[in-house]
Structure formats: structure tokens, C-alpha cells
Structure 1
Amino acid sequence: MRPQRTLALAAAAGLLLTACGSSPPAEPAPAVPHGYVEGAEETAEPQSRLVIADARTGAVRVLDLLTGTVTRLDDVAGVRDISTDGRFAYLAAGGSTQVIDSGAWMVDHGDHVHYYRAAIRPAGAVDGHVVAAHADSAVAALAVEGGKTVLLDRAAQEDGKATRRTVLDGVAVPYAQHLVVASADGVTVRNRDGRRVANAGEPCREPSGTAPTRRGVVVGCADGALLLSEDDGRFTGAKIPYPDPGPSTERAREFTSRPGSATLTASAGERGVWVLDVAERTWRLVGTGPVVAVNAVVEGGPLLTLTADGVLHAYDAATGQRTASRPLMAGGVPDGEPPVILVDTSRAYVNDPGGRRVYEVDYNDRLRIARTFDLDVTPSHVVETGR
């Protein structure tokens, strides 16, 4: 018994010596803060920037709307279109599109929002002439001339690489971890690899124009609009028909809105402007006459139009009454270079190609010009990022 006890004591002593001589346990890795994005700075307010391209010279500038500073980028010769998904700008020239990371974006979690800023830099190129862009955390969906959509891997794109995942027929909009695809065959829901998982359940003849909203994705149809929404994994489509007698050749073909808003606008040709209230599922024709550009602020907010004489107008979207006007371009709108009206939470931005400037307008103060940004290039094409 004694030798066994001696061996047991020796073994126990050895374990104690080993434990005492071992290194202290490693400190646990610090927790990653909520909303952390590597290589980016999180901020308390939107980091709005304008990406500007000169159609004649190919010059490209990024204007920081907080600081007023301008960043010069490499020229893009022959640029004809510009689109954005909220962070990246897509400058289409001929059969290819240059991608620019504006370094400003937001992430909407529904009950709160994160704002970020990072370096402005080139982010590769894609084949095809991009005419519209939408994105979520997994993919960027780039609609190109010819009726197709190029899907890019978002993680690779954020690393500066335009990595293509697949190409789909039709125009695709990321929504609820899926894709809403409008094509000649109608509107369908697909997974991110392009496989069909659901139909809209409603017909949509001659689809043209798409818009993501907080209430779902809107697709323009020959007889109105189709709203496709999701609830607990189930997708449903609801038709929003035009009011009688409806349009003839003046249907809505391209929507404009404040990002995320449920109020959409579109040209109605010589008659004026269509206003689509997605929340109420109603159309309204506002008889403004022909306009060069149009946009709406938000539900209950003013409708903004720009006419060929270079005058900016505000209307009460509910009554159709004009509430304010502001001359912006003394010589009128230049031929072949129609400006745009970009709207965010407190300001509107209107580019003046003839005057080589951008106006910042307070639409809540009778269209007061809050700031004027004079540029060294012609702002032929402009998009706002960071929203």
C-alpha cells in the first residue's frame, strides 16, 4: 500500500508543478463593435457626396457635401450615363462601365441606421453599358443596355474588385435576400444565384422602370404598377392600376424618388407628372405641363419639377397647386444635357451644365438656394451617394 501511495503523491505533485509552470490563459479577443466595418469610419450623420462626370472631357469629380472639398479622379472618356447603388457610382462609356467607390454609404437596419465614410477610389470595370444599379449586402445588380442584369459579388466589390457572379435576363432589384426580376416574361422572384423561387402572382405587361421602397419593389407596367412585397418569407404581388381613363403613350417608364421613399414620380409627357403613393397604392396625375426633371421629397412633402426655361417649381402633390418657383438657369436648360433633381432628407441638388455649377436647394423654405457649388468641369451627369 505504501509504494502505491508514494506514487500517487508524486503524480499529484507533478500535476501541480505542471499547472504552476504553465502560461496564463490567453485574454479573450475583444468583441467586434456593432456596425463595425473594416477600413471605414462610422459617423453620426450622413456622409453625402456627389459623383460628377463631364460628358465632353471625361473629367470626373467627387464633391463632399459636408466639407465642400472636391476630389479629382481619372477621366472616363465618352461617359454617357451615370448610376449609383448608394455607395458605388457606375460611369458608362460605350460598351463598358467604370466603377468608382465614393467612400460614402449607409446601412439601414430598419430601427436604426449606420453611416460610414472611407477613401474614394476606383473599383474596377464591368462589361456592358450600365443604366441602373441596386444593391444589398450580398450582391450589386447592374442593369445593362440590352435587357440584362450583371450581378457582382458585393464583398469583392468592397475590396475594389468587380467580380461577376452571374448574368440574368431582365432587370433585377435585390430585395429581402432575393432578387425581384422584371423581364418580358413578367415579374419573378429569384435567389441570388438566379434560380426562380416564386412568381409575382399578377401580370405585368411591358415592364419598364423599377424602384425599391420600404414597402417592397415597384415595377412599372403598361396598365399601372406592380408592388412586390415580402412577409415572413412569402412574396406577394399587388397591382396598382392607373386611374381612368389611364395613359395612352404617357405611362410611367422611369421612376425617381428620395432613396427609400414610398412616393415615386415619373414624367407623364406633355400632361405633367405621375405621382405614385405606394403606401396608399394610388396614382395621381399632376398637371404641371412638360418637365425636364422631376422628383418628390416624401409622403406629404413637395413635388419638385424643373422646366425647360431653367425654373425650379414646387407643388403640393395632394392638390396639384404650385407653391413656389425659383429661376436657376438664366439661359434655360441646354439641349442634350438634361439636369436631374436629387433629393435627400433636407435638401435637393440640381446640376446646371451650362453654368458649370450645382445648386443646393432648401425645399422646405420656398426653394431657397442654400449653397452654390462652382465647378471646374461641366456637371453633365450627377448622382448622390451616402444615403
Structure 2
Amino acid sequence: MRIRVLLPLLLAPALAACGQDAPAAPPSSESSTAPASSGSPSQPTPSAAEAAGPEPRLAVSYDGGVLVVDAESGDVLLDQPVEGYARLNPAGDGRHAFVSAAGSFTALDLGSWTEAHGDHGHSWTADPALTDVTVPAEEPGHVVAHDGLATLFDDGTGTITVLDPFRIAEGEDPLVDTVELPEAHHGVAAQEADGTLLHTVGDADSRSGVRLVTSTGAELAASDDCPGVHGEAFAGDVAVVGCEDGVLVIDGRQITKVPSPDDYGRIGNQAGHESSPFVLGDYKSDPDAELERPTRVSVIDTRDASLRLVDLPTSYSFRSLGRMPNGDGLVLGTDGALHVVDVRSAEVSRSIPVVEAWREPLEWQQPRPTLRVVDGTAYVTEPAHDRLHVVDLRTGDITATHQLPHTPDEVVATAG
């Protein structure tokens, strides 16, 4: 299987969509057929003002656009119209998010950040804005922020684009690499700073495994023992990708299959932690369900490639997984509570009521309560009432509830 490095990135003024535990939203025919126009990268923010401390902000998608919200006051700082179904992913630099809708990925500057200076930092704010850093894509899929890079996957072409998100604010070209796979598929990829690339293998009809390759395309390791491969997470430097019958653990050049206890035990969404060897995953065991509402999650120990299941008192959705500051798991249940999973004992240790009970909709694009965690704060949407709750995970207290002008869908949060 051959990998080819393409020409440098072209910047275009369109937006796009990204898939998670579902097919990517269909691209706009107008946007996807329009020729991409080259452009210059974003210029450094000229109007930045120093702040007294970090000012966390949120990007919140809704039907027709994206909001940028002050996480503490709830003030709407930007209401950006977006054509088509919009999705959000962190860029990995603590400042930007990627907006996906109608044919591309586009970087959104949330406009707050902190620069470290030895034993202290300086915090800055600026007006949030959609940047001109845009990656054209027929079917924008997964975005993986890892090792200082953002790796974008186009399901429609099998093109992988690697960006350095820290260059965006500096006005530099963020392109690091572009790779084209032999077969397009609903996939995922992640590149290390040394150029080593992990990517899924599949075609339009099926997905079977992963490959680990060097920056020149030489194969370091591969596995085809992962039917329906989907999703990824990192436990430090160790990667975990999901399969319909377990997971693959990729540690250096070693790929280990960890089987599910059931013949069909699908793990398609995972949540990692930079300092924990455990990965939290979902778990579905009914291959014939139109929409399975699972009541178990999986805990993968990457040290010994073991897998344990945890029974929950509720079901959950693919937007329900997160991690506590200490590495424990966090699951937003349809009972309205955040359930803390002790990853060492594989048990629920406590529950934090947040929203009203809800039921997962059949269509994956329909809004449902969504969890996003940054540091020790959980942000939980409640679409039924157009609200967003801020939860202090150390105390379990809801410290703020913000009324939003639109029904919230996806969320990206920054610590400021």
C-alpha cells in the first residue's frame, strides 16, 4: 500500500462537516465543486488586550451557525452563520477550533489564550473570528489533536492533512504534510511530531485495520484485525483505536489486539488522558439494533492490553464520554447525571446530577446533551431548554448556567 505526498495546502473560503460515531454529513455540491483558491494564512491578531487572568471560552454549534461564548458570564461574543450542518473539533493549541460544514475544515479563533513565561503566564483576549485557514474536503471527517499537531481526515478522498495549529495565530502557513491514501473511507489518522503517521485502512465498503508508517511512507507496523475500525484516543503516547470486536493498542511499533468479551462488542468512541494509562470507551453489543442505547462502557488498560466493562445505571450517547482531572472516566447519562468511573476498579464511584433526563434521538445529527471537559471543568449542554451548564468537577457544583440564543449541538471549550 503506497502513500503519496501531495502538493502544498490550498486555502479556500468554504466551511465543512466532520463525522464521529456516524457517517460524515454530505458535502454541499456547490462548495465541493467550486475550485479551491489559494490564499495567505491568517495574520497575527492586532487588537489583542492583556487580561487579568485566563478567560475560558466556548464554541457552540447550532443549526445555522456557531457561537463563541464567554464561559464565565455566558455573553455571546460571536454569532457566526455557517451553511450546512456544522461540527466542531479542538485544534489542539488551546485557542482554535476547527469548524466543519459544507466542504472544508476552517479554523475558528476563540480569541483567548495564555502565554507561559517560566513560573507565570500572561493571558490575552481578542475578538473571536473565523479565520481564512481552510482545508478543502469532500467529506470532512475526524480531526485528531495530538503531539502539537492537528490531523484532518477527508472521508471522501482519503486525503490526510496535517497542520501545526500554533502557527495559525502567528500568521504562518500551518501546513505540515498532506498524504493521500489509496482508498477513501470513513477513517481517522494521527501524526507524531517526528512524522510517524498512524492511519486506518479501508474502502467505501469496509474498514479493516491500521497502518503505522514513516514520513516517507515506509511501513513500520500494520494490523488488519480490526473490523469496522472507528475512533481513536491516546493514553499518553499510546494510541487506542476501536473495532467491532475490541480495540487495537499501538505502543511504539507494537500493535496488540484486545478482544471484546462478546463476539460483537463495538468500541467506536474513546476518551484518553495525557497522564493516565487507561482509555475510556463506549461499548455496544447488538449488531442488529437500529440504535443501541448502551448501558456499559469499556476501560482499556494500555499497560497490559486488558479490557473491562463497567455497568452504568443509565444509557448514554456518543457525545457522553470525558475524563476527570485525575484520569478517572466521566459519562453523561440519559438520566441527566455525570457518572464518574474509577478506571482502576472499573466501577462507578459517584454521580453528579446536571440536566433533566433525556432520550437519545435516532438521527445522530439531532442535538442531545453533550459533554466537553477542560481541566477541572465540565461543560454540559441541555438542548431541551437551550442551556449550557458549567460544572466544577472537584466539588460537583454547577457554578453557572447560561441561556443560549440557539439550541446547542456540539461544544469545544478552551481554558483561556
Q: From the CA coordinates, give the structure whose radius of gyration is larger.
A: 1
Count of residue pairs brought into register by the alignment = 337
Asked if residue 141 in structure 1 is aligned to residue 116 in structure 2, the reply is no
TM-aligned CA distance change 1:79 to 1:308, over 3 Å: same
Residue 383 of structure 1, CA deviation? 1.4
Q: Identity of paired residues, percent?
A: 25
1:95 to 103, 124, 129: 103
Q: Which amino acid aligns with 1:374?
A: Q
Q: CA deviation at 1:271?
A: 4.5
Aligned to 1:183: 201
The answer to whether the 8 A contact 1:258-1:295 is kept is no
The structure-2 alpha-carbon separation of the partners of 1:153 and 1:306, relative to structure 1 and needing over 3 Å to count, comes to closer
Amino acid paired to 1:356: D
User: How far 1:138 moved relative to its partner?
Assistant: 7.6
Change (3 A) 1:74 1:345: closer
Q: Which amino acid aligns with 1:205?
A: C
| 1:278 corresponding residue in structure 2 | 302
- Counting only pairs closer than 5 Å after superposition, residues 85-164 of structure 1 correspond to structure 2 as 85-86=91-92, 87-104=95-112, 117=124, 119=126, 120-124=128-132, 125-128=134-137, 129-135=139-145, 140-146=150-156, 147-152=158-163, 154=165, 157-158=168-169, 159=171
1:361 equivalent in alignment to 2:370 = no
Which of 234, 252, 257 is matched with 2:267 structurally? 252
Instruction: Give the CA deviation at 1:314.
Output: 3.2
User: Which whole-Å CA distance do the structure 1 matches of 2:354 and 2:71 have between them?
Assistant: 22
Q: What CA distance in whole angstroms lies between the structure 1 residues aligned with 2:351 and 2:307? A: 23
One-letter code aligned to 2:393: Y
- Aligned with 2:399 (options 349, 370, 376): 370
1:64 and 2:75 correspond:
no
Query: How far off its partner does 1:237 sit?
Result: 1.8
Supply the distance in 2 between the matched residues of 1:115 and 1:259 (Cα, whole angstroms). 24
Pairing partner for 1:307 from 333, 348, 352:
333
Structure 2 counterpart of 1:291, from 313, 316, 324: 316
Q: How far apart in 1 are the matches of 2:80 and 2:219?
A: 43
Worse-matched range after superposition: 310-319 or 350-359: 310-319
- Inter-CA distance 334–310: structure 2 relative to 1 (3 Å threshold): farther
C-alpha displacement of 1:164: 8.4
Q: Which residue does the alignment assign to 1:166?
A: 178
Tell me the amino acid that sits aligned with residue 172 of structure 1: A
Change (3 A) 1:200 1:67: farther
Range 196-205 or range 279-288, more displaced: 196-205
Report the counterpart of residue 3 of structure 2 in structure 1: none
For residues 45 and 130 of structure 1, what CA distance do their matches in structure 2 show?
35
Q: Does 1:328 align with 2:334?
A: no
Question: CA–CA distance in 1 between the matches of 2:146 and 2:351?
Answer: 37
Shift in Å at residue 76 of structure 1?
0.6
Please give the alpha-carbon distance, in whole angstroms, between the structure 1 residues aligned to 2:151 and 2:179: 9
Alpha-carbon contact 1:106-1:113 (below 8 Å) kept:
no
State the SS of the aligned residue for 2:254. strand
1:15-39 CA-to-partner distances (Å, cap 9, x unmatched) read: xxxxxxxxxxxxxxxxxxxxxx997
Secondary structure of residue in 2 paired with 1:250: coil
CA spacing shift, 1:114–1:181, aligned 2, 3 Å:
farther
In structure 2, relative to structure 1, the CA distance for the partners of 1:116 and 1:266 (3 Å cut) is: farther
Partners of 1:286 and 1:265 in 2: CA distance:
10
| Alpha-carbon distance between aligned partners in 1 of 2:79 and 2:315, rounded to the nearest angstrom | 36
CA 1:154/1:362 → structure 2, altered by over 3 Å: closer, same or farther?
A: closer
Q: 1:218 aligns with which of 240, 246, 267?
A: 240
Contact 1:309 1:333 in 2 (8 A): no
- 2:271–2:322 Cα contact (<8 Å) kept: yes
1:345 matched to 2:375:
yes
Shift, 1:255, TM fit: 1.3
Secondary structure at the aligned position of 1:251 is classed as coil
Higher relative contact order (CA 8 A, sep 6+): 2
1:114 Cα deviation after fit: 7.2
Amino acid at match of 1:103: G
1:333·1:354 contact (CA, 8 Å) conserved in 2? no
Instruction: Classify 1:200/1:384 alpha carbon distance in 2 versus 1 (closer, same or farther; 3 Å).
Output: farther
Tell me, yes or no, if the aligned pair for 2:295 and 2:316 is still in contact at 8 Å: no
The Cα offsets for residues 50-106 of structure 1, whole Å up to 9 and x where unpaired, read as: 111112xx2321123356543114211222422222343222223333331223467
Matched letter for residue 253 of structure 1: G
Q: Residue in 1 aligned with 2:254?
A: 237
Tell me how far apart the structure 1 counterparts of residues 321 and 114 of structure 2 sit (CA, whole Å): 21
Structure 1 length as normaliser, TM-score? Answer: 0.72
Distance of 1:284 and 1:362 partners within structure 2:
28
Note the residue ranges of structure 1 that are not aligned, 5 or more in a row: 1-36, 230-234
Q: 1:268 to 1:228 in 2, by over 3 A?
A: closer
Deviation string, structure 1 residues 214-272 (Cα, Å, up to 9, x no partner): 2333222455333334xxxxx422415135xx233332112124566543222213341
Q: TM-score scaled to structure 2, two decimals?
A: 0.67
